[in-house]
Amino acid sequence: MGEIVRYKRDVWGEEVILGVSWDLLWVVAVAVLVLLAAHAIIMAALANKKMDKPSSEGRRVLRHETIDRLFHWVMAASILTLIATGVAPILGLRIAWLNIHWIAGLLLTFVVVFHIIRSLFWQDFKSMILGPKDFGEPFDSAQKPGKYTFEQKGMHWAVTVVVLAVIATGILLFLQIDTPFWDRTNSMAEDTLGLMFLLHGLSTLALVALAATHIYFALRPEKLFYTRSMVSGWISEDEMTANHDTSLWSPKEAD
Amino acid sequence: MPATSHDVMPDIELYQPTDEENALELASSLGSDGWIVGGGQDTYGWLKDRNKSPAAMIEIAQIDAWKGVKETADGIEIGAVTTLTDIANHPLVQAKFALLATAASKVASPQIRNVGTLGGNLNQDARCWYYRRGLDCYRAGGNICYADSPEGLNREHAIFGASRCVAVSPSDTAPALVALDATMVVASVSGERLIPAQDFFVGPDRDIVNMTVLNEGEILTAVRLPNEWANAEFYFEKVADRNVWDFALVNVAAAIKVSGGEITDARIVCGAVECTPRRLEAVENAIRGQQRSEELANQVAAMSTEGARPLNYNHFKVPLMENLVKRAIRG
């Protein structure tokens, strides 16, 4: 316990990286549970100081198009599948995990590429950019965000970095196994292979932490309307004016 | 503590329990630090090569309750610590389950069979020479397979079911027990569980570091053979580079029920072609209800190797396996 990296001997007897130490999985799990529990307790203690929740009744505005909601849920399902199948052998569960893992990985890669292209050319990319002004938002209740809050942008970019890392390393590892498309060639040097496993493992651990945090906040009572909007596409005008600066974000009416 | 010299055995705490409860308690308390040893014919190779060095060994060869062959209400039960020689020569096994007697008689050499146990033969580790050499391959907890590479020497490796690891199941008794629908009796401090032989072995897709489904603290204590396949027509053949003291390149174990020349039921299992004994259910289904003949054997033999993915150096296993299946079917 306590190491971050595992090592092995390569075929020449030299010590090389094997991969991440999966003891860290327990560290991440415990840390996330403790932090999120602490947040929930603090929020519960502050609850009587909160203002009334905005109403979900009345005029509805469009927050997420259907295609973007579909992308989100396909990405969520593929990431959860990747985490479950990747962690299963570490936990000692005897399931045939590898094929499900790379198929989910390919699906994730496809939807991420789709999203990158769509966000650059068909969506308001600027609405997701994090600038210096955004960092003051959590400390100034008078400062309201545009479409996305500081926390949402932060989560988005953190997930972007981690998912791109897990995809890039995952593809390199994918090339090292037999698939219906090719036979493996063992072409990667063992030290490089170990580094890829290490980076893949570290980004997996980060993804576990981010996914858990994201799901927690998505289920928080004061954020639930955002989660609803990722299912139904809309938020109410009341929710919009209570949480967003309408001069920075003025969506059209939802169908 | 690892040995500092190759001239002496490594420091290992040796436990020699004389009763089942003591053995199971030791297996539970030592967990992954406790290495179960019967006759030691797999263990000592690891120790001599200094590629595995357990902190403790639990020798179970002296536990009488796990030895011997006895008749039960619906078959026979063989203690896992029974030697292979005793099984091969036992009148009850020869009379009802000659398939197992033959398979046991083909294991290794007479000297090894005299001390090697049934449980040890079933639980033995893979024989891939890269793995046995001590290289950090997938099976050793690493992240690569040296055998399945453009220059890897994989003549004796798998042609089916490879999932990153291409090692084969080296046991001769395993295919026979799968063909006989045996049940493995696995004990631990928590109790006992019964596992069909076919489910006892695990491939690398589900568990890449173990060959069986035994968990920490569990010990295979007995094997039960039901009378279902007693006195069927049996066929066992093992092809190896040497006649004695060698692992199979391919082996076949078949139990066939014949009535009036017609095959009423069959079990055909091949070893050394996959990480687990490979039961040929498609072939069994094809021959059921057919007249046992050479013609039938010739017709279905190719089915046995459908889906095979030979490696660089083991393409010969495909026709070899087909021929063995042919011989098993025609009798």
Neighbours of B102 (CB within 10 A): 20
Residues A230 and A72 sit within 8 Å (Cβ to Cβ): yes
Q: Which residue has the tokens 């190759």?
A: B6
Of B318, B320, B325, B227, the residue nearest B284 (C-alpha): B325
What tokens appear for A159 in the block?
A: 């997930």
Span of A45-59, B82-96, B235-249, B287-301 with lowest mean pLDDT:
A45-59
Q: In B110-204, where do the E strands start and end? A: 183-188, 191-196
Instruction: State the CATH class of domain B66-123+168-330.
Output: alpha beta
According to CATH, the topology of domain B10-59 is 3.30.43
Please calculate the CA angle A90-A93-A98 and round it to the nearest 5 degrees. Answer: 70
Residues B233 and B86 sit within 8 Å (Cβ to Cβ): no
Domain residue ranges in chain B: 10-59, 66-123+168-330
CA diameter of chain A: 71
CB–CB contact B136 A186 (8 Å): no
Sheet holding B13-15, edge to edge: B13-15, B56-59, B34-37
Amino acid at B61: A
d(CA B25, CA A191) in angstroms, rounded, equals 42
ipTM, 2 decimals? 0.89
* Residue A59 to residues A248, A255, B239, Cα–Cα distance (Å): 19, 10, 79
What tokens appear for A164 in the block?
A: 């791109």
Q: CB-hemisphere CA count at 13 Å for A216?
A: 18
Selected from 1.10.760.10, 3.40.50.2300, 3.40.50.720, 1.20.950.20, the CATH number assigned to the domain covering A65-243 reads 1.20.950.20
Minimum-distance CB partner of A8 among B136, B202, B213:
B136
Residues B266 and B284 sit within 8 Å (Cβ to Cβ): yes
CB–CB contact A177 B136 (8 Å): no
Considering only residues 175 to 194 of chain A, which have any Cβ-Cβ distance to chain B shorter than 8 Å?
176-178, 184-186, 190, 193-194
In chain A, residues with a C-beta closer than 8 Å to the C-beta of B163 are 96, 98
Sheet holding B219-226, edge to edge: B69-72, B75-79, B219-226, B183-188, B191-196
pLDDT in tens, B143-156: 999 999 988 999 99
Amino acid at A89: P
pLDDT of B327 above 60: yes
CB–CB contact A186 B208 (8 Å): no
CB pairs under 8 A between A and B: 52
Neighbours of B247 (CB within 10 A): 21
Residue-by-residue pLDDT tens, chain A, 255 positions: 468 999 999 999 999 999 999 999 999 999 999 999 999 999 999 886 556 788 889 999 999 999 999 999 999 999 999 999 999 999 999 999 999 999 999 999 999 999 999 999 999 999 999 999 899 998 988 899 999 999 999 999 999 999 999 999 999 999 999 999 998 888 899 999 999 999 999 999 999 999 999 999 999 999 999 999 999 999 999 999 999 999 999 899 998
pTM for this predicted structure: 0.92
Burial label for B255, CB within 10 Å (0-12, 13-18, 19+), is buried
Torsion angle in degrees (nearest 10) through CA of B25, B26, B30, B36: -120
CB–CB contact B149 A194 (8 Å): no
User: Within an 8 Å CB–CB cutoff, is residue B145 touching chain A?
Assistant: yes
Domain residue ranges in chain A: 65-243
